[in-house]
Structure 1
Amino acid sequence: MNRINHRMCKKNIPLYVLLLCGGVVSVLPMIYMISTSLKPNGALYEFPPHFFPALDKITVENYVYIFQQEKFYINFLNSVVVAVLTVILTAFIAAALAFCIARFRFPGRNILFGLVIGTMIIPGTTLIITQYQLATFFHLTNKLLGLIPFYVAWELPFSTFMIKSYIENIPKDFDEAVYMDGGSTFTVFFKIMLPLASPAIASVSIFNFLTAWEEFPWALTVINDNLKRTLPIAISGFFGQHQFTQWGYVFAMSVASLVPILIIFICFQKYFVSGLQTGGIKG
């Protein structure tokens, strides 16, 4: 047995090395971003360049400057409002749509699901002109509400696909028991499906929060007021300021913007893993 394990370990060495290299490549940009945020702005252009700042040159002046800006908190709050509302609306609509498609048989059911899945192949940036015309028609330009409906529309197909796959793995005996006790379809949805499908809903909600939190092109297109812009647009505002890019401020704000994402992922990690595993079985 030991010889077999030893041989298997030898065979897996190239795989381990490849995984290690991939992990290093993935982590290095984040490490560089954090190390640069702890350097003075002028130290970034020093020669020879240093990946890590010397201990005597580490400073938090970039973070102090960012946190002293009132506009940072306004843009941060805008991102929180947009991301949270997008996640809530997408989760509810996608869960309801997935429940209807997974549990009911009606004419055009497969066509409807095919249309939902088909929209996943359309890049969002190709629809910016049409979306801007819609936003103008409904007077949603230069408003935070001009972001949320379009974010929900972008995230709805993937969320529906994942939640539907999860619901199909839930035994129909639960539904039938509710119906036999005189419960309605709404009772099944709110009392049975939503609690049991919570891992899938939580997993897609993490993706949806990340998408709404870091989205840039549409937010830049539809909002012109600096006090109504989200955090990614505020970060881009430091590019080219004072005739050069203040990379210390850019990376400090970028690190600050990662904190909510890390907190959400840590809190919902178990739902994220279980939702992806079960929801992808029948996809």
Structure 2
Amino acid sequence: MKRKLKRKIVKDIILFLFLTAGLLIVVMPMVYMVSTSLKPNGALYEFPPRFFPRIKEVTVENYQYIIGEGKFYINFVNSIVVSITTVAAAALIAAAFGFCIARFNFLGKNLLFVFIMLTMIIPGMTLIVPQYELAVWLKAIGKLTGLIPFYIAWVIPYSTFMIKGFVETVPRELDEAVYIDGGSVFTVFFRIILPLTKPGIASVSIFNFLTAWEEFPWANTVINDNAKRTLPIAIAGFFGQHQFTQWGFVFALSVLSLIPILMVFIFCQKFFVAGLTTGSVKG
């Protein structure tokens, strides 16, 4: 009995040390980013380098510069508009697609679903040339409309695949009850499917928000106007500025750009967890 207890204690200690090491690996880059943002730019090149700044070196001048600069608010608003529009449109379209595929039988249904799945395995960078030509044809270069439709198209396949699974967990008897009472397909969709799959839609929307919020290559390709740039492009703008990278400004802006992401996870955490657990059980 004592031997089993000792083995359990040893396993718990090893597991604790393993999880602590993993936590440090994940958290330390974030800690370094915050600590670097509180250093003056000159202290970043000192030798030997310091992970944490001295108490007397702690400053908020990097944040004052970023917040005091008008372009930060413009870039922030641009990112918010692009991300929220992408999330809202993708949620509605993907929910409708998932509902149709899960509930109706029509010619080419399986082929359509396979096509949606195939689009998920195509690397995005391989499509950047035809996407750019399409953006030119749509006259969307240098505009936020050059980002939003493409972001929506990127996230719809994954969103449809996930939401379809959630729709399939909703009993068909509820649909039939609505039809018997004289309800239409739209009644079933808006009154039954959307409310009951809300946790799944919310969990998918979190990933879609991150995709739109953090995306850089396509935004850097399409947007060439400072007033239309999103936060990732604004952060990259400090690299090589004035012949050297101003790391204090880079990390300060990076910290500020994380605030909306943290707020999304904090306020949508219950939906995220509920969505994962609901989607894992079927029937």
TM-score, length of structure 2 as denominator length: 0.96
Which amino acid letter does the alignment assign opposite residue 39 of structure 1? K
CA contact (8 A) 1:98 1:167 kept: yes
Q: Which residue of 2 aligns with 1:266?
A: 266
CA contact (8 A) 1:162 1:280 kept: no
8 Å contact from structure 1 (residues 37, 248) kept in 2: yes
Segments of 5+ residues of structure 2 without an aligned counterpart are none
Q: 1:4 offset after TM fit, Å?
A: 5.3
Q: 1:159, 1:173 → 2: CA distance?
A: 25
1:279 aligns with: 279
Write the distance in 2 (CA, Å) between the matches of 1:281 and 1:124. 31
Letter of the 2:88 counterpart: I
1:28-177 to structure 2, matched below 5 A, reads: 28-177=28-177
Task: Specify the alignment match of 1:231 in structure 2.
Answer: 231
Task: Give the whole-Å Cα distance in 1 for the aligned partners of 2:208 and 2:280.
Answer: 17
Structure 1: distance between partners of 2:22 and 2:253: 26
Query: Partner residue of 1:188?
Result: 188
Q: Which amino acid aligns with 1:18?
A: F
Deviations 1:138-184 (A, max 9, x none): 11111101101110111011111111111111111211111111100
Per-residue CA deviation, residues 27-57 of structure 1 (Å, 9 max, x unaligned), is 1110000000000000000111110111111
What letter corresponds to residue 7 of structure 1 in structure 2? R
Q: Out of 7-16 and 34-43, give the one that drifted further.
A: 7-16
Aligned CA-pair RMSD = 1.5
Q: Distance in 1 between matches of 2:6 and 2:142?
A: 63
Please state whether the residue corresponding to 1:51 is helix, strand or coil: coil
Report the CA distance between 1:106 and its aligned residue: 1.4
Q: CA 1:261 to 1:2, structure 2 compared with 1: closer, same or farther past 3 Å?
A: farther
Q: 2-side partners of 1:219 and 1:45: how far apart?
A: 31
Q: Deviations over 1:161-209 (max 9, x none)?
A: 1111111111112111111111000000000110110000000111100
**Structure 1 unaligned spans of 5+:** none
Conserved? CA contact 1:165–1:281, under 8 Å: no
Superposed CA offset, 1:112-156 (max 9, x none):
111111111111111100100011111111110110111011101
Query: Partners in 2 of 1:114 and 1:273 — Cα distance?
Result: 28
Count of residue correspondences: 282
Q: Deviations over 1:73-108 (max 9, x none)?
A: 001100000000000000000000000011111121
SS of structure 2 residue aligned to 1:121: coil
**CA distance in 2: counterparts of 1:156 and 1:69, whole angstroms:** 35
- 2:106 and 2:2 map into 1 onto residues whose CA distance is 58
Aligned-residue sequence identity (percent) comes to 65
CA displacement at 1:3 relative to structure 2: 7.0
Following superposition, the deviation at residue 9 of structure 1 comes to 4.1
Q: Which amino acid aligns with 1:14?
A: I
Q: Give the CA deviation at 1:265.
A: 0.7
Q: Distance in 2 between matches of 1:46 and 1:201?
A: 48
CA drift at 1:6: 5.3
Give the deviation of 1:278 after TM superposition. 2.3
Specify the alignment match of 1:214 in structure 2: 214
User: C-alpha deviations, 1:224-278, integer Å up to 9, x for none?
Assistant: 1111111100111100111110000000000000000100110000111121222
